[in-house]
Amino acid sequence: PSGQPSLSELGLPNQFVAVRANGYDEGYCSNLKEFVIGTPEAQIYDTEFECCTEEFADQKSGTCISNLDGDRQPSGQPSLGNASGLGLPNQFVAVFTNGFEGGYCSNLKEFVIGTPEAQIYETEFECCTENFADQTTHTCISNLDEDRQPSGQPSLSELGLPNQFVAVRANGYDEGYCSNL
């Protein structure tokens, strides 16, 4: 083997396995017969992307992900959510492509499909709070649409207007919060 990832069209369709010939940090996924044959079925993935995210999720070098075709490269940016019509409705999953501090939630099919149901959340906010609550960069929360940003200041919803919240920046942007009063 050359130590280089396969060109997926030359290998077996929908059968990708992890190749660690040069160690974890130089590992990649391949669908060449020489790697796939003899691999237990539980370690064979339908897509190269799924193989990389399952087998090399913590890979600091990014070798596996960087070998994906350009149109299958994760952007490192959160999905555009339901507003753009590109994502799946009410199905958000945590994406750790950029590590924990750079993690975010997405509803793009490429991330959602194949994710166990227990790891799929109905809202992007719920996904962020469940998976990235201790994130010091606040990357996930900051990617929420402006009207879904947590305020840090609870409003008294039972005293305010129902389902009508506005941003209050009386003490500046950093201390801003949302209120329905």
Each of the 181 residues of the chain gets a pLDDT tens digit; together they read 444 544 445 688 889 999 998 899 889 999 999 999 999 999 999 988 889 888 988 888 888 877 777 656 555 544 444 444 467 788 899 988 888 888 888 888 888 888 888 899 988 888 988 999 898 888 888 887 765 656 554 444 445 566 666 677 777 777 666 666 6
Pairing outcome for strands 177-179 and 93-95: unpaired
pLDDT value of position 131: 92
On whether the CB atoms of residues 133 and 103 are closer than 8 A, the answer is no
φ and ψ of 20, to 5 deg? -120, 35
What would the pLDDT profile of 47-82 be if each residue is shown by its tens digit?
A: 888 898 889 888 888 888 777 776 565 555 444 444
Q: How far apart are CA 46 and CA 44, in angstroms?
A: 7
Q: How far apart are CA 16 and CA 44, in angstroms?
A: 5
pLDDT value of position 147: 57
Q: Which of 105, 106, 102 is nearest to 136 (CA)?
A: 102
DSSP secondary structure string for all residues of the chain: --SS---GGGS-TT-BEEE-TT-STT-EEE--HHHHTTS-GGG-BSSHHHHHHHHSTT-SS-HHHHTS-GGGS--SS---TGGGT-SPTT-BEEE-TTTTTT-EEE--HHHHTTS-GGG-BSSHHHHHHHHSTT-TT-HHHHTS-GGG---SS---TTTS-TT--EEE-TT-STT-EEE--
DSSP secondary structure string for all residues of 40-72: -GGG-BSSHHHHHHHHSTT-SS-HHHHTS-GGG
Q: How far apart are CA 79 and CA 97, in angstroms?
A: 13
Entry field: residues in the chain: 181
pLDDT value of position 82: 41
Q: Which of 55, 49, 15, 14 is nearest to 34 (CA)?
A: 15
pLDDT value of position 77: 47
